[in-house]
Structure 1
Amino acid sequence: MQRDDLADFLRRRRLAIRPADVGLAEGPRRRTAGLRREEVALLAGMSTDYVVRLEQGRSAQPSVQMLSALARALRLSEDERDHLFHLAGQQPPRAAGGVTHARPGLLRMLDLLGDTPATIGSDLGETLAQNRMAMLLLGDQTRLRGDLRFHVWRWFMDADWRAVYPAEDAEHHSRVTVADLRATAARRHGDADVDGLVRRLLAASPEFAAVWGEHEVKVRRSDRKRIVNRQVGVVHVDCETLVTPDQRQKLLVLTPQPGTDAAEKLALLSVVGLQHFSV
């Protein structure tokens, strides 16, 4: 671990980012050229004291989870993210055929969306980044590990996650989720990540096996959802998906459905503030 170089790199990247670049207000009397340490801590979901110790070269070796959170918070490119991991004495995360890091361009779009819930995901349904409103609405999905990081796994294997949607909508969500996975599996034919996920789901979930056997295929580009939030109740949203040219990453934007009280509920949720959700 190269503590001094790690400290210098983190400090310089923090000072190079404007608050507006990550969706934060500039505010009066700002003395710092870039982000404050407490703002980096907020974006990364860690304590300010830990960020201070990292920048002063006084920390123990950061975990892969911590480094990934810092890379997202500082909007690092893939090369910068890998450099961060190497300075910390860790191997950059790699996924055979998959992705582990949201594209910088998508992250900038995510920041610009402000109070509109939005997430960046991989084509296998891993959440790579969320804005604050998406965390308020759905909980923090970026810290999940193992098979739980895949949306399709949570849907078929995690009753708490399934409760985020009304029970009467379950059949629809099962079909569109599996149909989208079918499209990904065909596009990434022979990919170990995709084949392994499908194989584990077939062994673990009779429901998934039944829906998979229907062989329905449809890329999920738009949808309508009812989301059950513990703070404000059922929120009706329209879902639009922007897919990168290589089809490996997606920006999902959730907007209030016209004619419902979704806008008012999202506004209330924003005031309530970020809470911890178990889903």
Structure 2
Amino acid sequence: MTPFGEALRDLRRQKGVSQQQMAAAIGVSAAYLSALEHGRRGRPSFDFLQRVCGYFNIIWDEADELFRLAEGSDPRVTVDTAGLPPRYTALANALARNIRHLEPDVVEDMLKLLEKAPNRG
């Protein structure tokens, strides 16, 4: 599951709406919503996000948060280390090999560390 998928599922459940109801209302299939919620689909389009916000009457900060979660919710990430020192490639590969085995507290610590790093990309 992705952060966006979790947020979408929580929103839908809080409002008491099934995947079928929401899908019909915003013009997508229930299978697509299910795939998004379970992290089997990549980042949703801007148009889709706008339809979700309109459907749930989400505005301002809550909408910004939903868009932010969608931005960071691609379940199939590619890390390009071309042109970087060898240790960067080693790090990317070690993470790819071991991510499924990391303890949740280690993941949280790594996220906090990376959030402090300057984002130049």
TM-score of the superposed pair, with normalisation by structure 2? 0.54
1:65 aligns with 2:47: yes
Which SS does the other structure have where 1:61 is aligned?
Answer: coil
Match of 1:41 among 1, 17, 23: 23
- Give the number of the structure whose residues are more often helix, by fraction: 2
RCO greater where, 1 or 2, for CA within 8 Å and sep 6 or more? 2
Q: 1:94-149 CA distances to partner (integer Å, 9 max, x unpaired)?
A: xxxxxxxxxxxxxxxxxxxxxxxxxxxxxxxxxxxxxxxxxxxxxxxxxxxxxxxx
* Percentage of identical aligned residues: 31
1:40 and 1:74 in contact (8 A); partners too: no
Instruction: Find the aligned partners of 1:67 and 1:77 in 2 and give their Cα distance.
Output: 12
2:59 counterpart of 1:77: yes
Asked if the contact 1:53/1:59 (under 8 Å) is kept, the reply is yes
Aligned to 1:264: none
2:46 aligned partner, one-letter code: V
Tell me the equivalent position of 2:38.
Answer: 56
- Give 2:3's aligned residue: 5
- Answer whether contact 2:3 2:70 (CA < 8 A) is retained: no
**Aligned counterparts of 1:84 and 1:57: Cα–Cα separation in 2:** 15
The amino acid that maps onto 1:12 is D
- Taking only aligned residues, the RMSD between alpha carbons, in angstroms, comes to 1.6
Give the unaligned 5+ runs of structure 1: 18-33, 91-279
Where in structure 1 do 4 or more consecutive aligned residues deviate above 2 Å?
none
Deviations 1:160-201 (A, max 9, x none): xxxxxxxxxxxxxxxxxxxxxxxxxxxxxxxxxxxxxxxxxx
Runs of at least 5 residues in structure 2 that lack an aligned partner in the other structure = 73-121
| Higher Rg of the two aligned structures | 1
**Quick one: distance in 2 between partners of 1:49 and 1:79?**
28
The SS at the match of 1:60 is coil
Aligned residues: 72
Q: CA deviation at 1:57?
A: 1.3
Normalising by structure 1, we get a TM-score of 0.25
Q: Distance in 2 between matches of 1:35 and 1:82?
A: 22
Structure 1 residue 64: Cα displacement: 0.4
